[in-house]
Structure 1
């Protein structure tokens, strides 16, 4: 699992309140735009640590 003292200082972006099912639709055709932190970032897949923790395919 990854940990940083300050996600803001690390330059991370995140989505505090994702829409229902947003992570299930995540992919090349439907990315998730960060709404907090570094909002210039978007995700096309979960990071391997998060997927492993949730028991999802990576």
Structure 2
């Protein structure tokens, strides 16, 4: 959300850093980072374990 807003401001020639935008919206700066990348070499065996054994979230 913040990244899209930030990009729109840049397109409108308004230079604002992401840090003040996060402060204005009471968001953590770390919440604006891109999504984590999944290593397929690890994802496949982990997915197989989850499918075989099942998954129970910690409560």
In the superposition, the TM-score normalised over structure 2's length comes to 0.21
Which has the bigger relative contact order, CA under 8 A and spacing at least 6? 1
Structure number with higher helix proportion:
2
Give the structure with higher Rg (CA): 2
In the superposition, the TM-score normalised over structure 1's length comes to 0.21
Structure number with higher strand proportion:
1
